[in-house]
Structure 1
């Protein structure tokens, strides 16, 4: 099986592009010789063979060993596929020679603090990708590539949270909210998979696509014994990219509306999938149970993963905030950008020699698009190769792992006699006269607008996201706090936008905007979350408490520093207005 056996259609669901405008863009880019890097019109990557490179394992660093660790960002070159020239990347590591994409997996222990100094050694005066000056961005006066690292999912004082305006460069420029490069993480949350990535104002999408990502694992005694471990525990960091023949990443240099945003594109969808920094890799497995801790690190791509073997399913055991109350057996896994899934796959009933393809069938854009064409509607991600349980010269491998029927307590809902603060937010887009999406906003506000979300320590809140963008889901991420998903409920968007109905009226009332009763989350989403998908044409409700995940006080002052934030984790949206401050008070 070789070659890119699928192609991307012209993208229309998100931007609502009209053909005359796209003809104009194509003529413009033909004249400038840049047709291959036009938003949603990029030329395909070189044809690359599937499953010829083994899955890499990023280096691992124990950051809860009492030492002060230094993680640095460098510009490197790395081989991402056997038949592709080395690719220029920005990457994390302890030195330039050890820097890698993705960065090292950082291992921590619950309630054992870790200290990391983040350094920027990227010497480029300009970013490797075009920076759109029409959206608010870091814009260092002496040039360079600004960075600031956010440890996604961590409960941490805001000065160490990676605020978008706390960036710094190797040329000594700093953002208006910069305080320090020395971060302290209490690791007070439940055992779970987190990830670290750049969060610089206006160029998060550029730095993440360039390679500034890595996994962070918090371990602790709360996890039941017997789960697969050692070589039977594998972290998978999944992203997508598009390439030029010289190995460089193909990224749009002509925006969706060049007259307004010359370089900004509402989404970046690459035509190749990378896992742990390799294009379509394979992993050799024994007929054992394996635990896979999966991160969707893509900029905008949703994943709906399935396997080609009829006997294989995903036993989902955890999500963003740790283990689920009980395991859930699933034929497929849908994972939003920035979301993490913890699952077990049992290869014991698969014959040695089997070749099992993991594929993605999520549409582009998600969920309403039709942006992928392939023979079966699926795009390859990676391959499992099942080995004999006994290799020459070795003793047979015996699987002693087990998955208990009960994993964790179900997160508490509304505390008794709690006073609840209700918040609601519309998710909207601005379009230009020809129907092209130019900005996306939360409650019609941008990052620069006055703070409206002020939460109090110990408070209980229900947030409601009203998604008015047609056919497009938004993964919403809250910093600092975990939450639980309460419900989803469809609305009549047209009547709501015309003011002909109310969300204060329940379903069944004449003046209600709701067209169905609330839908409860599925069992696989009963756990703690820090990312939730706000479905189009729906009100999505979450419940949060401004406390540590355990329900106790934060082990730090959450009211100090520059404050926190919440945003859409489609990175092109986050960079262009879909991000808001969050302030904590006593």
Structure 2
């Protein structure tokens, strides 16, 4: 039987050790939190004049049409290419895109009907596509070294030494406490130049196959190239993927024009209107990483929703279903819906990362970390025609406090509803079912004498096996953080069992694939490793942390 005790003394001592290691690296948690009380990272300032809030209409991402539906499979094609877009009004911004738009086109799928997406790489660097939240065979999961090379690509002549290979034996990670420092770290060599004998590299094109054998939910796809995920997403490589089924359709939730996908992402712009990002190598070819001030994460001073700055959307006096994704690299939000006269509207959560809850949960505010998704219903019925409802970020200040606004344009009939019971197919894993309990620390540390972000005291190595579990096993994982770390597991969803040794919070309801750890916080999650065998990942979804070593391998056998 797996160990099921609560957070022990050694784990709490480990928090202090983790924060001490942070101080050694120069990424002092206390200093970082003093500058940005609700964030981990540093903020860029835009050089171009920024538009006023709530002037630009909310765009809705286009829905991609399949090129074929034969054989019971929906087939799509997407070309990754450079494009110049008008993100800020009247300003032209070069971006990297899926299909020439930001966000990329939305793929609408049906549960149980497979999807194949052929990606063509027309960009100047290698790419990898990961369907975040997908129950996907390992060959299509978007492992960071499974590159799609562009035309005429040649490997850099001198790989940068910034990672660590064979640093120390990770076999103990299966049961390790993860608090014992970084003893015995030897054998450093370049992360970008590491040999990965399992990598599958193609040139120009790759087919990604998604069985869609999972609960209906909002997923998203984004670049996952090793060492360069953060700047690639920042440049525009992100899009939505929605799964539906008949049972969800029959619930009567708001639909059609009253169902709105909302991809929230912060960015910054230079004096010429180009995206501003502190890459050490702006070509994203040779040297990974960001300038030292931004090692903890890159924050922008412009809040985009579906690629538009602080947009506004005209709505009926009715219920609306908001499918919210935080696609920011490092910024956290605490969302609140408030009228201009100060009245706060309920945010009724009906779904989490991995689909519908068992029953609705009503929130006044909704914290959302990078990569998390929330499915919420907002009722505009009692807002006067002509009135405005602002979605604000309680963690922001100045321009980053505003997110988007809704203006109620008219009275209208509303036949939607929020059922008391939403879903009957949520897993009911119990601690007694767990075959193993594992402990992991997420903290700052040293890589080759420089800054890095580590899981269990070591940075990512694609050639190392970190965690091995058997297909079908149930496990409890205990996670502990020094600063903010949104922890994401590939392939599987999980339930949050506890935070700081106490019960999970209301916004932890349902099945998730990303859990937001706050500074110094410990959380427990439970999951069953089912679906497929193969090599997967778990990592921090602060994209800068991920690029600087905060990933680990998960082998399902």
The TM-score, its normalising length taken from structure 1, stands at: 0.74
The Cα shift of 1:72 comes to: 1.2
The Cα shift of 1:245 comes to: 2.7
**Alpha-carbon distance between aligned partners in 2 of 1:308 and 1:270, rounded to the nearest angstrom:** 23
Cα pair 2:344 2:364 within 8 Å, conserved: no
Partner of 2:503: 520
Cα pair 1:430 1:440 within 8 Å, conserved: yes
- The SS at the match of 2:213 is coil
Higher relative contact order (CA 8 A, sep 6+): 2
- The SS at the match of 2:304 is strand
**Alpha-carbon distance between aligned partners in 2 of 1:459 and 1:446, rounded to the nearest angstrom:** 26
Partner of 1:429: 444
Partner of 1:499: none
**Alpha-carbon distance between aligned partners in 2 of 1:260 and 1:115, rounded to the nearest angstrom:** 31
Partner of 2:487: 476
Q: Does 1:545 align with 2:528?
A: yes
The Cα shift of 1:235 comes to: 0.2
The Cα shift of 1:409 comes to: 3.1
Q: Does 1:245 align with 2:271?
A: yes
Partner of 1:456: 470
Runs ≥4 in structure 1, deviation > 4 angstroms? 38-45, 172-176, 259-262
Query: Structure 1 regions of 5+ residues with no counterpart?
Result: 1-11, 20-37, 94-98, 123-143, 363-371, 390-396, 490-517, 548-553
- The SS at the match of 2:79 is strand
- The SS at the match of 2:257 is helix
The Cα shift of 1:112 comes to: 0.5
The Cα shift of 1:400 comes to: 0.6
Cα RMSD, aligned residues only: 2.8
Structure 2 matches for 1:68-147, cutoff 5 A?
Answer: 68-83=75-90, 85-93=91-99, 99-122=100-123, 144-147=124-127
Of the three residues 405, 427, 434, the one matched with 1:383 is 405
Partner of 1:333: 366
The Cα shift of 1:48 comes to: 2.0
**Alpha-carbon distance between aligned partners in 1 of 2:322 and 2:231, rounded to the nearest angstrom:** 27
The Cα shift of 1:253 comes to: 4.7
The Cα shift of 1:534 comes to: 2.1
Change (3 A) 1:373 1:386: closer
The Cα shift of 1:183 comes to: 1.4
Change (3 A) 1:220 1:312: same
Partner of 1:316: 349
Change (3 A) 1:387 1:488: same
* Greater Cα offset, 474-483 or 304-313: 304-313
**Alpha-carbon distance between aligned partners in 2 of 1:200 and 1:323, rounded to the nearest angstrom:** 30
The Cα shift of 1:41 comes to: 6.1
Partner of 1:287: 317
The Cα shift of 1:576 comes to: 0.4
**Alpha-carbon distance between aligned partners in 2 of 1:62 and 1:405, rounded to the nearest angstrom:** 34
Structure 2 matches for 1:215-226, cutoff 5 A?
Answer: 215-223=240-248, 224-226=250-252
The Cα shift of 1:355 comes to: 1.9
Of the three residues 137, 160, 174, the one matched with 1:157 is 137
Query: Structure 2 regions of 5+ residues with no counterpart?
Result: 1-22, 32-40, 156-195, 282-286
Q: Provide Cα deviations, 1:538-565, integer angstroms capped at 9, x if missing partner.
A: 3211001012xxxxxx3xxx224xx111
Cα pair 1:361 1:378 within 8 Å, conserved: no
Partner of 2:515: 532
* Greater Cα offset, 212-221 or 56-65: 56-65
Aligned residues: 464
Q: Provide Cα deviations, 1:449-487, integer angstroms capped at 9, x if missing partner.
A: 7212011001011111122x2xx2200000011111011
**Alpha-carbon distance between aligned partners in 2 of 1:276 and 1:260, rounded to the nearest angstrom:** 28
Of the three residues 453, 462, 468, the one matched with 1:440 is 453
Cα pair 1:411 1:484 within 8 Å, conserved: no
Change (3 A) 1:50 1:535: closer
Change (3 A) 1:290 1:42: closer
The Cα shift of 1:81 comes to: 2.1
Change (3 A) 1:43 1:79: closer
Q: Does 1:15 align with 2:27?
A: yes
Partner of 1:58: 61
Change (3 A) 1:110 1:373: closer
* Greater Cα offset, 219-228 or 337-346: 219-228
**Alpha-carbon distance between aligned partners in 2 of 1:346 and 1:69, rounded to the nearest angstrom:** 35
**Alpha-carbon distance between aligned partners in 1 of 2:413 and 2:452, rounded to the nearest angstrom:** 55
Cα pair 1:324 1:410 within 8 Å, conserved: no
**Alpha-carbon distance between aligned partners in 2 of 1:398 and 1:55, rounded to the nearest angstrom:** 23
Cα pair 2:27 2:444 within 8 Å, conserved: no
- The SS at the match of 2:385 is coil
Cα pair 2:360 2:422 within 8 Å, conserved: yes
Partner of 2:15: none
Partner of 1:26: none
Partner of 1:504: none
